[in-house]
Structure 1
Amino acid sequence: MRANVPSSSLLLSSLLFAGAALHAPAAAAQGREACTNGHTRLPPTVNLRVDNDLFGGQDQGYSNGIQLTLVSPNLADYTDDPCIPRLARWINRHLDALQPPQGFEQRNMIATFAQGIFTPTDYSRRDLIRDDRPYAGALLAGLGYNARTGDRLRTTQLQFGIVGPSALGKQVQNAVHRALGDKTFEGWDNQLHDEPVFRIVHERMRRFAPEDAAERRWSWDAVGHYGGSFGNLATYANAGMEVRFGLRLPDDFGSTPLRPAGENTAPTTHYNTGDRPFAAHLFLTSDVRWVLRDITLDGNTFRSSHSVDKRPFVAEVGYGVALMHGRWKFAFARYHSTREFEGQKQTPVFGSVTVSRAF
């Protein structure tokens, strides 16, 4: 989300990081594929994810989301290497509070830009629908790190932004609906008030796979995770598991785009990304959350607003397919969740499409 004053410096840093990450192809074009000290450069990655409940046959709840993620090269052993863009190295030196402790084999920095849109079920009502979830738009910008040693990973992300009219949820949803010839939602005048929001997310993951998985043409793995989020945007504890099976399974930490380290944002030991042959796999993922706060259900923190009686425990299951070739990766997923608040008419269902490219 875009925040007022508190997130302006964060957003500026994110934009600087974006420029640094996108500068990497020029360095590659100059023949600097090999970094100093004998290291081979793990290329930066750009991920674009689009979520929409229409993929699940609904138009309510978590109605739409879009997220752009920029992932740096490996920073673990050569943060002063000239192969790493100067702006990325500068930002890295000034993020001590988010950096993982020393000793990790691989570490990369991630920047995210995201918008989420939440609506009730009945699009035609202009009045406040008290027994359904509030209208809400959320706009976020964030920075964080993923750090890997062997089959273990920890990820920390700090996100700032805003919930309310300034998040432009109404404008974006209406523009998309009009472009598609669909009817627009009429109750946006009842959306949550503007409120700066933040959260810090931390998770730890462990990958389980056969010892010779990298040598197998067909293989499986499982990635367990636990962690939580703290902030007025969302506060919860969570845990879950993802299972994958397929052709030339990647050596990373999951393929579900809703995971903080999913979709190419976690360090991998595969450096020859550009030469990667076609690969594909299926994945099944689950997550259970104990939710203490969710501003899109509990309403504004510091002033009166629409809210509903949220359920403290929420479970989610997702399934999908990921396709990879060369520097490209595509993931298609569908998610089913238990009801999030008392009186919710339907269980939430939505789909997600993610496109990733390494540079």
Structure 2
Amino acid sequence: MIKTLLLAAFVFAGLNPLAGAASRGESYSATIENDTRRMGGPNSDDDYSSGFRFAYIYAEDTIPSWAPTLTDWSKSLKKELTESTTNFGISLNQKIYTPENTDIKEPILDDRPYAAWLYLGFTANYKTETHSHSLELDIGIVGPPAMGEQVQNGFHHIVDVPEAQGWDNQLDTEPIVQVSYFQKVRFVDVLDKTTGRMFDVIPYAGASLGNALIAAHTGVIGRLGVNIPNDFGPTRPSASDGDMIKDPRESNGDLPWRAYVYGAARGNLVGHNIFIDGSIFHNGPHVTRKPFVAETEFGYGVQYMNFSFIWRFVTVSPEFEERDNFHSFASMTLSYYHDLD
């Protein structure tokens, strides 16, 4: 399945630059999320157990061959952002979910089911100095072809911890089509001529619709630092926030580096979550979903020259009735900006 998705990524990666558009640079990033202590997590190995996202962001105002669909969907956004810049992205993603007790082979009826989701994400991002609109289309699969068992137990073998025993009880195979949208606004912005952006506050809101997740969310990000990047805050795959390019030349200061700490809070209204409710189309394992879930995260970001690194610690309130536990995990993103000028 991974080979199929990678082949699709290469097929879709053809470029069709806009006439007269100036391609400035492209971006590559890798994000790993896990609750292992080796990344700064709590070492619980349950709920959202791990995930990854490998993303490529096309140069500014460059239209890849697969993008017209997202472009057509986004025309109303583009009209609102008359002087916006545009970036498109493609990513390969996997998310893995497990119950608390992974030592038994029998089905666990009062905990979330084993599940994995493997998918390709296609994103369109339009932004000005104060506003950002993003749209993402995800196409993939849940079930054994998503290779959750192989990835999780392969990693457990490498780090010499016991394998999860209950993957025979995971969600059935099901194709997934998911659309997500979110908007961010730079509400507070404090700049300095020498040290660039020192502080900003970015509220945001969005929604997701598909057979994996039906939900809406709102939240806020606050950052404090030196020469903070001219973007709209860190994003992570577990939040379905898409990808944004991080251009090291977009600076309000004279420093070659950037550093900041940040905190964020988010509320989610959830109408359906396949990883808790189970499949809409199959009568499989499930638990009782809570309709409201809160999240907090804190972390830091550093950028030097064309490389940037972000680490964050995320805490999620209980997502289902059968187990009233908060869950935490760590997330790390490494990005590289390739200058095309």
Measured against the shorter chain, the TM-score band is: 0.7 to 0.9
User: For 2:151, what is the secondary structure of its paired residue?
Assistant: helix
Q: Tell me the CA shift for residue 222 of structure 1.
A: 0.8
How far, CA to CA, are the matches of 2:7 and 2:306 in structure 1? 28
Matches within 5 A, 1:27-176: 41-54=23-36, 55-75=41-61, 79=62, 88-93=63-68, 95-100=70-75, 101-102=78-79, 103-176=82-155
TM-score by length of 2: 0.87
Q: Secondary structure at the match of 1:356?
A: strand
The Cα of 1:212 is off from its aligned counterpart by 3.3
Aligned equivalent of 2:272, options 293, 306, 309: 293
Contact 2:57 2:89 in 1 (8 A): yes
Query: 1:233-287 deviations in whole A, cap 9, x for unaligned?
Result: 1010100000000011111100243555576x157694589x9712110010111
SS state of the match for residue 210, structure 1? strand
Counterpart of 1:354 in structure 2: which amino acid?
T
When the two structures are aligned, how many residues end up with a matched partner?
328
Q: Are residues 1:14 and 2:14 paired?
A: no
Check if 1:199 corresponds to 2:178.
yes
Conservation of the 8 A alpha-carbon contact between 1:146 and 1:261? no
Match status 1:210 vs 2:196: no
Amino acid at match of 1:60: D
SS in 2 for 1:212: strand
Query: Could you tell me the TM-score, scaled by structure 1's length?
Result: 0.83
Q: How far does residue 19 in structure 1 lie from its aligned partner after superposition?
A: 6.8
Report Cα offsets for 1:202-233 as digits up to 9, x if no partner: 01110123363565456100111011000111
Helix, strand or coil: the match of 2:72?
Answer: coil
Q: Where do 5+ consecutive residues of structure 1 fail to align?
A: 25-34, 80-87
> Residues 36-84 of structure 1, C-alpha deviation per residue, up to 9 Å, x if partnerless?
95x7643110110000011223110000100011111111xxx5xxxxx
Taking the aligned partners of 1:16 and 1:326, their CA distance within structure 2 comes to 31
Secondary structure (helix, strand or coil) at the match of 2:113 reads: coil
Identity of aligned residues (%): 28
Rate the CA distance shift 1:156–1:217 in 2: closer, same or farther, 3 A. closer
Higher strand share: 2
Distance 1:269 1:47 in 2: 14
The 8 Å contact of residues 191 and 198 in structure 2, kept in 1 or not, is answered as: no
Q: In the TM superposition, what is the alpha-carbon distance from 1:343 to its structure 2 partner?
A: 2.1
Q: Could you tell me which residue of structure 2 aligns to residue 242 of structure 1?
A: 221
Q: Distance in 2 between matches of 1:292 and 1:223?
A: 26
Distance in 2, Cα, partners of 1:238 & 1:46: 27
Give me the CA root mean square deviation. Answer: 2.9
Structure 2 unaligned spans of 5+: none
Q: Distance between the aligned counterparts of 2:213 and 2:275, measured in 1?
A: 9
Summarize the alignment of residues 279-290 of structure 1 with structure 2, pairs less than 5 Å apart: 279-290=258-269
Give the superposition deviation at 1:347: 0.9
